[in-house]
Chains A and B, each alone.
Chain A
Amino acid sequence: MRVAFGERVRRGRAVDLRNEGVPASAVVAAITDPDDGRVRGQRPAAVHEHVGVLCEGTTLRVGVALAAAARSRGARTTHDDELAAVTRQLAGLSTPDVDLAAARERVAAAEVAVGHMRERAARVQGRTQPGDGEPVVAVTRALTAVETEWHAAKERLRRAQAAWADARRRLSLEDRRANLEQAARDALVARWSDRFRRAMDALAVPASVPPSQPPRRFSGPPWAGAAAIARLAAPGAPLVVSAAVCADALAASAALDAPVVVVAD
């Protein structure tokens, strides 16, 4: 990688920025922004989002991060084909812009108008004297108009409900996709838990993963989980390590098996 923070341009898998006064957040922002030329190298894999920064307070959701690490190494699950199919179906669905409430309101308002107008028409038609009050023709015409509007409102509501059926299909597909993603994560975590334990044991820190399945917790400093997962992942882009975790960029790069930028904070 090529890192251009401050005066010097640094190259290699282990870069020390402790004397540049750059915060970890600025470095990781440069790494993840493809338009930021200050850090050049491979693009970050999805797992980088979980393990890209190792500070003293770094914590992570072990299951989600471990599954992402497995994915970065090309791991697949039996759910992937269906997951891809559901994702494809979702991409092909349009998102209908349906305002069902407005359609219901128009139907209700039109019904009220029709009710009033029918009463008025009945009153006018009941009068016998010609020239007394409103002419029958005008009232009948007004009644026809509100009835037409009522039928149109009902038809619009019917169409909105049909469009809503498509929206419901999208919701159920999104639900299905979330379930498949969870099942795939669970499968990956179960399969990669031993590798996670070994990676944790290989770190030169007093941390370990209890032998429960699946591994969700570990003893030791909070950042040790992220370090172990970074070690077994292929994060692509460099990891940002705080000097408080490991001040030696070469040692950190070797332990994490990844390009590393060490920062002071």
Chain B
Amino acid sequence: MLLAVAYSRAARRQLWNTCDAHPGCVVDRFGRAVLFRETEFSALQVLRLRARHGGHVAVKQTAPFNEFREVPERIRTAAEAYEGRASRSTPYRKFASGTEHPDPEGLRGVPL
């Protein structure tokens, strides 16, 4: 999918106009950011935005996230366990220490 983010008022207005004019190519709208279906037509629309607003429009190519494919099980388990913790104020590092859950420092910098 193509994620377009508008960083100026004019770019935002044109982004919204594009969405209103072509709802069929919009997957989701989040304020100043819009997720477009990955088609040549969507590419034409986001490139028009770029041609007019230059650096005020950022475009990223994104893919749906499947945690069961991309993420090791120990991290999924840790996330579930931490969100189910008894005390809301416990930070993750403290929650994980002395358990089988991964240490947050050990995860930083490790590519998925």
Contact = CB atoms under 8 A, between A and B. Distances in A.
B66 A108 contact: yes
Contacts of A248: none
Interface size class of B (residues with CB under 8 A): under 10
B9 interface: no
Contact of A111 (B28, B64, B69): B69
B81 to A, nearest CB: 16
A155 B66 CA distance: 15
Contacts of B69: 104, 107-108, 111
Interface in B55-112: 64, 66-69
A109 B28 contact: no
Contacts of A107: 66, 68-69
B5 to A, nearest CB: 19
B68 A104 contact: yes
| Secondary structure class of chain A's binding surface, majority of residues | helix
Contacts of A105: 68
A131 to B, nearest CB: 38
A198 interface: no
Contact of B68 (A109, A161, A168): A109
Interface in A156-189: 161, 168
A104 B68 CA distance: 7
Contacts of A111: 69
A228 B68 CA distance: 58
A134 B32 CA distance: 57
B10 to A, nearest CB: 25
Contacts of B68: 101, 104-105, 107-109
A104 B66 contact: yes
Contacts of B28: 168
| Interface core residue of A107, A108, A161, A168 (most chain B CB under 10 Å) | A108
A104 B70 CA distance: 11
| Interface core residue of A104, A107, A161, A168 (most chain B CB under 10 Å) | A104
B64 to A, nearest CB: 8
A168 B68 CA distance: 22
Interface in B27-64: 28, 64
A168 B29 CA distance: 11
Nearest to A112: B69
Contacts of A108: 66, 68-69
Contacts of B64: 161
A108 B66 CA distance: 8
| Interface core residue of B64, B66, B67 (most chain A CB under 10 Å) | B66
16 contacts: A101-B67, A101-B68, A104-B66, A104-B68, A104-B69, A105-B68, A107-B66, A107-B68, A107-B69, A108-B66, A108-B68, A108-B69, A109-B68, A111-B69, A161-B64, A168-B28
Given A101-B68, A104-B69, 6 more contacts: A104-B67, A104-B68, A105-B68, A108-B66, A108-B68, A109-B68
